[in-house]
Each structure stands twice: as structure tokens, then as C-alpha cells.
Amino acid sequence: MKYSFFYFSVLSFVAGTAFCSVFDGGLYFGLFWIFLSFITYSLVLILNSSPSQKRIFLIFSFVLFFFGLGLLRCSFSNQQQHQDIQSLNNLAEQEVSFVGVVTEEADEREDNTKLTVAIKEIKNLENLTAKNVKVLLTVQRYPQFIYGDEILFSGVLQKPENFLTEGGREFDYVRYLGKDQIFYQVFYPQVELISSGQGNFLKEKLFSLKNSFLKKIKKTIPEPEVSLLGGLLVGAKQSLGKQLQDDFRKVGLIHIVVLSGYNVTIIAEFILGVFSFLPRLVGISLGALSIILFAVMVGGSVTIVRASLMALLVIFAKMTGRVNETTRALFLAGFIMVLHNPQIVVFDPSFQLSFVATLGLIFLSPKLNQFFKFIPARFYLRETISATLSTQIFVLPLLLYMTGELSLVAVIVNLLVLMLIPLTMLMGFLTGIFSFIFAWLSVPFSYLTYFLLAYELKVVEFFAGLPLISFKIGCFPLWLIFFIYVIYFVLLRKLVFYGGEDPKDNDLLGFKSEDEKNLIF
């Protein structure tokens, strides 16, 4: 029963933050729900009811209490954002000069670069402060700026605007940037480098190592293959070009172009496969260590740390076989992330995809692995197919809502490509490592890496060129997403409770008996 309270509490808190993200009723609205929870709890103490009825009232009071807490946390966050936005409101649509520090790795596009800059000083306006405000700069690709550069830039300060996606849904670009404290943007300002090395020392060294690694690889592997490898291997933010990106989107493979939370979750499964020839405990331990080193190597951004944590939970599920314990750990991790930044529930696609893909790997992948026993387990083939299908099934409703595009070849393309991703990453890594020692040592590995990358790009180009392989489905309603995931939940419960396993070990809500399940549901 205690596990039921845990899940209901976490889900209620998340629901509160999600509701407040869309309809912010203010602090008193959250306090009102908490007040209702105390009234409901008082009824538990006052009423002379049966134990089962008391449990229902108790759970209901927990739901109300944590829903109110979620409202309060999100409302506090919204108020802080409002204060940060107001700090520069008077300067909007004016040309202003700022001094700031580049706080994230440069996001290189096909014809420009995006820089996230934290403001340190407003020139000629010493009485104004904006210490919590970040500005998104769109600059020319050259000269290049890197993490930790202190720059002076001058341009017209503008507020971001929402826009319509190709599926016809309005994308809340303002809140999407706002979750990272980015409230303004400047297009093509005049930029002057003041100094370097103003960022976090460890992150600077990690980014420097990554950039040196990529430069070595670029000497042996041409474009566009090397850009794809950079995205796969170290999360390099480099453009493949609009045409190729459209092709990746058409075939449902856009998640591997640049490292994302969804991608890291899948990579966790493949890393386990690389070490599958070792004893189970050794292989899983090395897999977990690889995920940690991987997160450190790519710079330890919030997105990657979040996704890597979820990937480690998948490894924990493999190691212990206790699905329920892993699920509680996943929900606890999600709760902490939302508590830290409540905006991610609604406005961070990476968090949503990471969480849902992890659920798919924990719950559905083992079931599909049993179903596909006719597929050989050699070369990690069965595990790869199970992992790919489970994540595809679980993230499909979200992807339809986000992109408004349905790819009919997504599953087959993912199977054809993702099975070779571990080998591609390994060969690419060896190419870079040997390039640091002697360039000629990397030649054999670079040829094999190029062959694998070229194959993956050809698969994408071939299927993207077929007629009628993707459809625009217009606005995919939010209610339909919830309905689909409820169906998933019901089907998974049937798989767990009637699949010959111990419900105590696997129940998503931790119920101890069939009576208790019937009581709640």
C-alpha cells in the first residue's frame, strides 16, 4: 500500500505542475488545493467508515495535497520567470549593448550559429541588472565562439514568438526557451570577443577535449558522414543540411542526428550488448561506467545528465530484474527533476521522450524479448529488435503530437540502422583515439567507420525517396495521447499480472493483492 501512496503522490505533483504550466491560478490556488487535502484527511479521522473507505479517502487526500504542491512549485517558478522577463522589458525592440558569457556549447546550423549568453552587464545602463536572464544570439558561423567566451554584443533585443508547426499546432517557443531562463533573442548582432575561459573549468576542458577529438576525426572522414558521427558519438551540434534532416524526419530517425535524451536511452541498451559476452555483473557494471563516462565526455549538459540517469536505471533493471524497484527509482528521479525545474513537464520534449522511452525499455522490452524467442540472440539481434520496437511503440504518440508526421517506415529503418549504431560508435571512437597517437593507425578504422556511416545515410536516403512513406496528420489532440497511454497501461498490467510473474515484484503501483487493485481501480 505504501507504494500506492508514492506513485499517486508523484503523479499528482507532476499533474499539478503540468496544470499550472498551462493555467496558472497563482499561489492561493495551490493553497486552496492543499486546504482541501486537509479537509479530506480530517474526514478519515472523523468518519466511522470501513478500512477500505478510509484508504480511499487517505489516497484522495494525498492526491489533493501533492497536486497543490505541484501548483505552488510551478507558480513560484512562473513568478520568478516573470520577474526576470520584466528586468529587460523596457529595452525590448531597442538596440542595446551587453556584456555576457557563452554558457552552452555553440549550436552550429547550416547557415548560422546559435549562442546562449548569460548577461553580466548592460552598457551605459549600470542601474539595470539582469543576472538571471539569458539571451539567444543568432550569429554568423564565423568567427567562431565557444563555451566560456566573454563577449560584447550589440543588437536589437527581441522577445521570442510562438510559431505554427508543420502539423498545424502552435509551438510554445516562448515557454520552451523560458524553461532554460532564455527570455530574449538578438539576430545577427555585432559581436566582439573580450576574453576566454570565463565558464566552468571542468566543462571547458571537456568541451575542448571533445572539439579536439572531432577535429582529428574530420581529417579522415568527409562530410556529411562525419557530422552524423559527431552527433552519435559526442553529441556535436552540427548541421547535416536541411535536406538530410528532412529525410531523417521522414523515416522516423531524426532522434539520432544530434544526441538527445531519447537517443541516450537507446544507447544504454546497445552498450549492454557490447559487453554481453562478459559475465553478467561485469558486463552490466562496465555498461553503467560507460554511460557515466559518456555523459562526462559530452560536456554533462542538463539534458544529457538527465537522460544518462534514466539510462542507468535501465541498466539497474537489467542487473536486478526487479522492475518495480527500478520503476520507483525512475519516478523518484523524474520527481526530483520536475521539482528542480517544473517547466520541463510541458515544455521539454527531451525530458518527455527520455522518460517515456525508459518506461518502454523497462516494461515492454523484456516482454517483447520473450515473444521474439524465434529470433537468434547472437550478435545481440533479439535484444536490439526488442529495444527498438519497445521505444518506438512508447514514444510514437508523443512524436505524433510533437511533429504531426507519421512515418510508415520508421520501424524498419530503425531496425536497419540502430543495429549498427554500437559498431559505428566503437569504430568512430577508435578512429579518434588512434588519430591522437599516429594518424596512420586510424586509417583502417576510419575506412570501416565511413562504410558504416555511408550505409546508414544511404538507408535513410533510399526510404526517404519512396513515395507515400510519411503523412502529415494535422493537429494530433492531447486527449488522444492520454487515451493511448491509458491503453498501454492497461495492457501492461495484464502482461504483468497474468504473465506468470510475481505481482509483488512487478506491479507498477505496488499493490499487494487483487482486492487492493480492485479497491483502487
Average pLDDT, the chain: 79
Q: Classify residue 379 by its DSSP letter.
A: G
Beta bridge partners of 158: 185
Q: What percent of the chain has pLDDT over 70?
A: 81
Q: Which residue has the cell 539481434?
A: 381
- For residue 463, name the pLDDT band (cuts at 50, 70, 90): very high
Q: What is the pLDDT of residue 515?
A: 39
Lowest mean pLDDT among 110-119, 230-239, 243-252, 350-359: 230-239
- For residue 238, name the pLDDT band (cuts at 50, 70, 90): low
Q: What is the pLDDT of residue 514?
A: 40
- 270 vs 38 pLDDT, higher one: 38
Q: What's the rounded mean pLDDT across residues 437-445?
A: 82
Residues 183, 130 contacting (CB under 8 angstroms)? no
Q: What's the rounded mean pLDDT across residues 285-293?
A: 75
Q: What's the rounded mean pLDDT across residues 145-149?
A: 90
Q: What is the pLDDT of residue 34?
A: 92
- For residue 107, name the pLDDT band (cuts at 50, 70, 90): confident
- For residue 115, name the pLDDT band (cuts at 50, 70, 90): very high
Global pTM reads 0.79
- Residue 288: pLDDT above 60? yes
- Residue 506: pLDDT above 70? no
Q: What is the pLDDT of residue 516?
A: 36
Instruction: Supply φ then ψ for residue 40, to 5 degrees.
Output: -65, -40
Distances (CA, A) of 235 to 107, 209, 300, 301, 481: 11, 13, 11, 10, 29
- Residue 495: pLDDT above 70? no
Lowest mean pLDDT among 67-76, 156-165, 253-262, 303-312: 253-262
Q: What is the pLDDT of residue 179?
A: 86
- Residue 188: pLDDT above 90? yes
Q: What's the rounded mean pLDDT across residues 169-178?
A: 83
- Residue 505: pLDDT above 70? no
Residues 323, 499 contacting (CB under 8 angstroms)? no
Q: What is the pLDDT of residue 101?
A: 92
Terminal alpha carbon distance of the chain: 14
Q: What's the rounded mean pLDDT across residues 405-422?
A: 81
Q: What's the rounded mean pLDDT across residues 178-192?
A: 90
Q: Specify which of 121-130, 167-176, 508-517 reaches the highest per-range mean pLDDT.
A: 167-176
Q: What's the rounded mean pLDDT across residues 378-386?
A: 73
Say how many residues make up the chain: 521
Q: What is the pLDDT of residue 258?
A: 58
Q: What's the rounded mean pLDDT across residues 236-264?
A: 70
CATH number for region 89-199: 2.40.50.140
Where along the chain do its domains lie? 2-86, 89-199, 209-476, 478-521
- For residue 329, name the pLDDT band (cuts at 50, 70, 90): confident
Q: What is the pLDDT of residue 137?
A: 94
Q: What is the pLDDT of residue 168?
A: 65
- Residue 310: pLDDT above 70? yes
DSSP 413-464: HHHHHHTTHHHHHHHHHHHHHHHHH-GGGGHHHHHHHHHHHHHHHHHHHHHH
Q: How far apart are CA 177 and CA 156, in angstroms?
A: 18
- Residue 13: pLDDT above 90? yes
In tens, the pLDDT along 40-50 reads: 888 777 777 77
In tens, the pLDDT along 469-490 reads: 887 776 778 888 889 988 988 8
- For residue 193, name the pLDDT band (cuts at 50, 70, 90): very high
- The helix, strand and coil proportions of the chain, stated in percent and rounded to the nearest 5, come to 65, 10, 25
Q: Classify residue 276 by its DSSP letter.
A: T
In tens, the pLDDT along 55-94 reads: 788 888 889 999 999 999 999 988 887 777 777 778 888 8
Q: What is the pLDDT of residue 6?
A: 83
- For residue 321, name the pLDDT band (cuts at 50, 70, 90): low
- For residue 395, name the pLDDT band (cuts at 50, 70, 90): confident
What is the three-state SS of 61-121?
A: HHHHHHHHHHHHHHHHHHHHHHHHHHCCHHHCCCEEEEEEEECCCCEECCCCEEEEEEEEE
Residues 268, 283 contacting (CB under 8 angstroms)? no
Q: What is the pLDDT of residue 167?
A: 59
Q: How far apart are CA 261 and CA 259, in angstroms?
A: 7
- For residue 124, name the pLDDT band (cuts at 50, 70, 90): low
